[in-house]
Amino acid sequence: MALSIEDIKKIAHLARIEVSESDAAATLTKLTGILGLIEQMQAVDTKGIAPMSHSQDVVQRLREDVVTKTNQREAFQKVAPVLGNGSTDQAVDSGLYLVPKVIE
Amino acid sequence: MINCSLKALGQMLAKKQVSSVELTQEFLNRIDTLNPEINAYIALDKNKSLAQAKAADIRIAAGSAAPLTGIPIAQKDIFCATGWKTTCGSKMLANFVAPYDAHVISQFDAAGAVNLGKTNMDEFAMGSSNETSYFGGVKNPWDFTRVPGGSSGGSAAAVAARMCAAATGTDTGGSIRQPASLCGFTGLKPTYGVVSRYGMIAFASSLDQAGPMAKSAEDCALMMNVMAGFDERDSTSLQRDKEDYTRDLNKPLNGLRVGLPKEFFADGLDANVAKVVETAIAEYKKLGAEIVEISLPNTGLSIPVYYVLAPAEASSNLSRYDGVRYGHRAAEYTDLMDMYCKSRAEGFGAEVKRRILIGTYVLSAGYYDAYYLKAQQIRRLIAQDFEEAFKHCDVIMGPAAPSTAFKAGEKVDDPVAMYLQDIYTISTNLAGLPGMSIPAGFSAGSDGKALPVGLQIIGNYFDEARMLNVAHQYQQVTDWHTRMPELNTLKEVA
């Protein structure tokens, strides 16, 4: 199926990646080429073949329901990004991460 | 000293002919000289490296050294290492200092090895030339106008230019073996699940596997002894007994059945590469191997299948980079959605974005069956091809890459041409099989410079020890693996 500029914008929105008009046009060309390559799959008859998601036939291990991880909030908050919008502070406050307001 | 095997270095350290501090300093000096040109390392921390070397010297003096104690190892920048910048070659993580250690890093630390620095790589391991790195390309030590391959391009150049004793890499579609072929050294991608992925930044989780990149099969075996093993923190780590990967190195190859897949010698393979590979196979005949023709009929489909599955998994894995808790956040944004979209648009490079978009598309409503499910079904056919082939042979051999190192910039605007670099390596990732590339000779490039060619050896599941044996025996009767690029001119200039 041929992709359009509108498709690119829709996919980019789903992927949460901003694309400019010129980016979208360039991306369309490249993705069309890649999808052309992928299209070769359609010639194969795969009726009745079980999909393979993993090379080893293993199941998820279970473990005892006990705490195994220590609290590393401070270490993790140290690598928080800069807040932005004019502030050079880290986007953290009282052990929480700061993001734009989502609830009025 | 820089050209010594890991075993020889270990013996020199044990006999106190050299200290780990001296050895580490020697490599750091060489890095100082060569790295400004080659760009193999993107993070160095001499104090950290030397502190580890000092600790190793104390351990050696105390008589409790392990085989790799005091040996300087380069770590691909995909592995989190506490206190080290861990960028995965991306602007997204350009300022990320890892707060914990990857399992692979912990294993080397426990062995007393020295972390010499973090090596350059294609952004999020997506690439076959190291040109997608936010920190710039890496030069192939054999010819500075050419790429080292990718995605483990920095580790590859570091091993080839002897800027480390050995290095780690990861291989999702060929990222250890293709650079090993293009830079002329020995690289092994183990069976999926043998080396823990904990703390190894995820690209395509059902395919990603870490492995050693070193000067010889014996060195790779010693590295595997450190890297491999069960780790409960990786849900796909396999519960198996600890192995000694050096155990079979010296076995003779009499009666070894070598399968040659006819699809690996068809159109698309450079004639000079084919010649080198055929000469290597003739050498195996002399060593007592029996050659069997086999077929892997779905080889050609491995690339389309991979470019559905890997981007699909990547689009999911990379959704974690949202600018909230770590990584790049846009400087200016209006609301939360705008923050996500701008942070990701700015933080990811073009190839990573392409793959996220492809992955998002093939997983989106209405297309799942036609792309993702279909690819998973063909993945099984590819794995079955190998299952059938291994009924007739013990190992499979062929080229690791379709050509020698190509010119920087040559394929950068043509993703499909770049993807074809991995035609001989991707199918083993899809099947989860182990594969390696060993130096098999040279072929003259268009401008006359000799460029390395790799021979790929693919084994059955968990057959790494046998593959290392097969490679080691070849390295006993050939000296391709001892060749190193002439870099003296550069040293004089510096």
Give the pLDDT of residue A1. Answer: 61
Give the pLDDT of residue A56. Answer: 82
Nearest to A55 by CA among B88, B121, B376, B23: B376
Give the pLDDT of residue B487. Answer: 86
- The B residues from 10 to 49 touching A (CB cutoff 8 Å) are none
For the segment B205-214, the average pLDDT, to the nearest whole number, is 97
CB of B341 within 8 Å of any CB in chain A? Answer: yes
Q: Is B76 a catalytic residue?
A: yes
**pLDDT of B293-340, one tens digit each?**
999 999 999 999 999 999 999 999 999 999 999 999 999 999 999 999
Answer whether B378 sits within 8 Å of A46, measured CB to CB: yes
Nearest to B118 by CA among B74, B166, B168, B171: B74
In B, which residues are within 8 Å of A31 by CB distance? Answer: 354, 357-358, 361
Backbone phi and psi for residue B65, each to the nearest 5 degrees, phi listed first: -70, 145
Task: Please give, rounded to a whole number of angstroms, the shortest distance from the CA of B273 to a CA of chain A.
Answer: 25
Under the banding of pLDDT at 50, 70 and 90, the label for residue A57 is confident
What mean pLDDT is reported for chain B? 96
For the segment B457-476, the average pLDDT, to the nearest whole number, is 98
CB of B379 within 8 Å of any CB in chain A? Answer: yes
Spatial separation of the C-alpha atoms in residues B187 and B156, rounded to whole Å = 9
Q: What is the CA radius of gyration of chain B?
A: 21
pLDDT above 90 (res B493): no
Asked whether the beta carbons of B262 and B291 are under 8 A apart, the reply is no
pTM for this model (two decimals): 0.97
What mean pLDDT is reported for chain A? 92
Residues 6+ apart with CB under 8 A from B291: B258, B260, B281, B284, B285
Tokens 């380069």 found at: B74
What whole-number percentage of chain B has pLDDT above 70?
Answer: 99
Spatial separation of the C-alpha atoms in residues B467 and B473, rounded to whole Å = 10
Positive or negative, the CA dihedral B280, B283, B288, B294 is: positive
Spatial separation of the C-alpha atoms in residues B11 and B15, rounded to whole Å = 6
A vs B: CB pairs below 8 A:
184
Active-site choice (B5, B49, B129, B151): B151
Q: Is B189 a catalytic residue?
A: no
- Least CB–CB distance from B308: residue in A38, A78, A81: A38
Give the pLDDT of residue B114. Answer: 98
For the segment B76-89, the average pLDDT, to the nearest whole number, is 97
Tally of CB atoms within 10 A around A83: 18
Spatial separation of the C-alpha atoms in residues B415 and B354, rounded to whole Å = 9
Q: Is B85 a catalytic residue?
A: no
End-to-end CA distance of chain A: 42
Answer whether A46 sits within 8 Å of B192, measured CB to CB: no
What is the total residue count of chain B?
A: 494
Active-site choice (B20, B49, B129, B175): B175
Here the tokens at position B107 are 């294993």
For the segment B170-191, the average pLDDT, to the nearest whole number, is 98
**pLDDT of B218-266, one tens digit each?**
999 999 999 999 999 999 999 999 999 999 999 999 999 999 999 999 9
Answer whether A79 sits within 8 Å of B335, measured CB to CB: no
Under the banding of pLDDT at 50, 70 and 90, the label for residue A59 is confident
| Distance, C-alpha B130 to centroid of its chain | 12
In B, which residues are within 8 Å of A54 by CB distance? Answer: 206, 236, 432
Residues 6+ apart with CB under 8 A from B137: B39, B129, B130, B131, B147, B153, B408
Minimum CA–CA partner of A76 in chain B? B99
Residues 6+ apart with CB under 8 A from A2: A32
pLDDT above 80 (res A104): no
Here the tokens at position B191 are 């069976």
Under the banding of pLDDT at 50, 70 and 90, the label for residue B489 is low
For the segment B479-486, the average pLDDT, to the nearest whole number, is 95
Domains of chain A with bracketed CATH: 5-42 (1.10.20), 72-104 (no CATH)
pLDDT above 50 (res B492): no
**pLDDT of B17-59, one tens digit each?**
999 999 999 999 999 999 999 999 999 999 999 999 999 999 9
Give the pLDDT of residue B490. Answer: 52
Spatial separation of the C-alpha atoms in residues B246 and B244, rounded to whole Å = 5
Nearest to B226 by CA among B183, B165, B173, B177: B165
Give the pLDDT of residue B55. Answer: 98
Give the pLDDT of residue B494. Answer: 39
Class of domain B6-260+388-493 as given by CATH: alpha beta
- Least CB–CB distance from A80: residue in B325, B348, B374: B325
Lowest mean pLDDT among A59-68, B47-56, B189-198, B368-377: A59-68
- Least CB–CB distance from A34: residue in B336, B370, B416: B416
The residue with greater pLDDT, B247 or B446, is B247
Measuring CA to CA, how many Å separate B434 from each of B63, B317, B468, B492?
Answer: 35, 24, 11, 41
**pLDDT of B102-113, one tens digit each?**
999 999 999 999
Give the pLDDT of residue B33. Answer: 96
Active-site choice (B19, B48, B76, B215): B76
The DSSP 8-state label assigned to residue B349 in this structure reads -
Task: Please give, rounded to a whole number of angstroms, the shortest distance from the CA of A78 to a CA of chain B.
Answer: 9
Give the pLDDT of residue B445. Answer: 78
